[in-house]
Amino acid sequence: MTFFKIGSIGRTYRHMQRYRQILTVLFKYGFGDMVDALKIEQYLKTGLQMISRKRREKIETFSRAARVRMVLEELGPTFIKMGQILSTRPDLLPVEFIQELPRLQDEVPPVPFSDVSSTIQEEFQKPLDQIFSDFDKQPLAAASIGQVHKARIHDGKEVVVKIQRPSIQRTIEVDLEIMMHLAGLMERHLEGWDIQRPTKIVEEFASTLEKELDYTLEAAYMERFARQFENEPTVYVPQVYREATTSRILTMEFISGVKASDIERLEKEGLDRNKIAEQGFNLIMKQIFVHGFFHADPHPGNIFVLPDNVICYIDFGMMGRLNLETRERFADLIMSIVHRDERKAADALLRLTLSEEEPDYHALERDVAEFMDQHCYRPLKEVKLGALLHQLLETATKHRLSILPDLFLMIKALSTVEGLGQALDPNFDVIEQASPFIKRIQLNRIHPRRIAKDMASSGTDLFHLLKDIPGEVRAILKLARQGKV
């Protein structure tokens, strides 16, 4: 699918009923002051009268961040998804929101089976029984965007089928148009609310959500992940059934395993907790530092353990990418922290970030030194890598340094797997496990083959630069003659 150009005032007016609903919920949870500041009260004539003083007093006992979470939950799929994504972005939101938004609940009643059957008919132009020999009417799980059913294809294999809710794409499209309109008003009227670049947030979110709504992309991610680890016996990737997959329906192999967080059952099945912790962390490190393509949501519900301690991910809706240059710069940052070199750490952090204005380097180096005093002068086995990286991100945010969205996804993934590893094995040493990968990527940088490749690439770039210079000079001189320079 392709979203329309969002934020159009004309389209927003066409969706006035939904707009009023959104504003009503904002009033309900004590954000009438924000609505007033946005100067859109004319869209909602009775909003304030709908909220009693008793309710206002009750709702004001909750923190601002908790009230935002309640707003998002009540407004449904688009807003819940946005909150989940923003919970990984401390560069965009104050810390109180980053701590609160992970508590978002995405629980909705399941879609009736008649609607599920109709969606299958629409997507394949065939009735359900021509695609599946058996199909459970009750879903295994239901969320705001889709739900999952167990089924069987005609060759007898068990599968799970993820199906989007009817009309969800239209619902999201309408909400995004309204969000963009509100974001534009926020940039004009809410400068003191400490929300960074609202329209950019909505644009990034729309791009992310558009990808998540195309299940053929998720199928492609699974197939790429499977190719990356096809010779790795400790990893298993469910098979995708392309003939039963469309942009709105994803059919994959049914996995019967033990959730990685179910420690009691892991022990009952005779699985090795320590080995699972080690293999699980090695897997995320290989994804990031070897392949640059990683599972960005490896929470325990998405990780199953199969016999012989084999790790299996079951949801590939959110993936991240890091190019080689970013991976190398991140490795430099980690090694400078391990070696307690604040100057190199500050330099590495700057190389990983963007800034609209020149940062105060000495202030940054001072803050990095204070950060190291807090974290780095203790035994390495006591260092929590996730907490360390999150605080480093806060330091970058303080200096208005922007970090790539996929870098945030990587840090979230590392933190999640680190937490799971330490739950499985209290003696799990994340720095010891990470060090070989960090050292390997640094050694590869000075390998003769890599140096030769970089020199060849630089030579080509220099050749094109020299070739283009005369034309560029002529263009500048022409502009100068026209008085435009």
Catalytic residues: 297
Instruction: Determine the 3-state secondary structure of 17 from DSSP.
Output: helix
Residue 236 makes CB contacts below 8 A (sequence gap 6+) with: 306, 310, 311, 312
All residues at 6 or more sequence positions from 465 whose CB lies less than 8 Å from its CB, including other chains: none
Give the integer Cα–Cα distance in Å for 158 and 254: 6
- Tokens 């969205």 sit on residue: 405
Task: Fill in the DSSP letter of residue 387.
Answer: H
Edge-to-edge strand list for the sheet holding 303-306: 235-236, 310-313, 303-306, 258-259
Question: For residue 265, what are the CA distances in angstroms to 171, 238, 261?
Answer: 40, 22, 9
Judge contact between 380 and 429, C-beta under 8 A. Answer: yes
Q: Are the CB atoms for 422 and 428 separated by under 8 Å?
A: yes
Give the C-alpha separation, 285 to 278, whole Å. Answer: 11
Q: Distance between CA 281 and CA 396 in Å, rounded? A: 26
Q: Residue 91: in which H helix or E strand, if any?
A: none
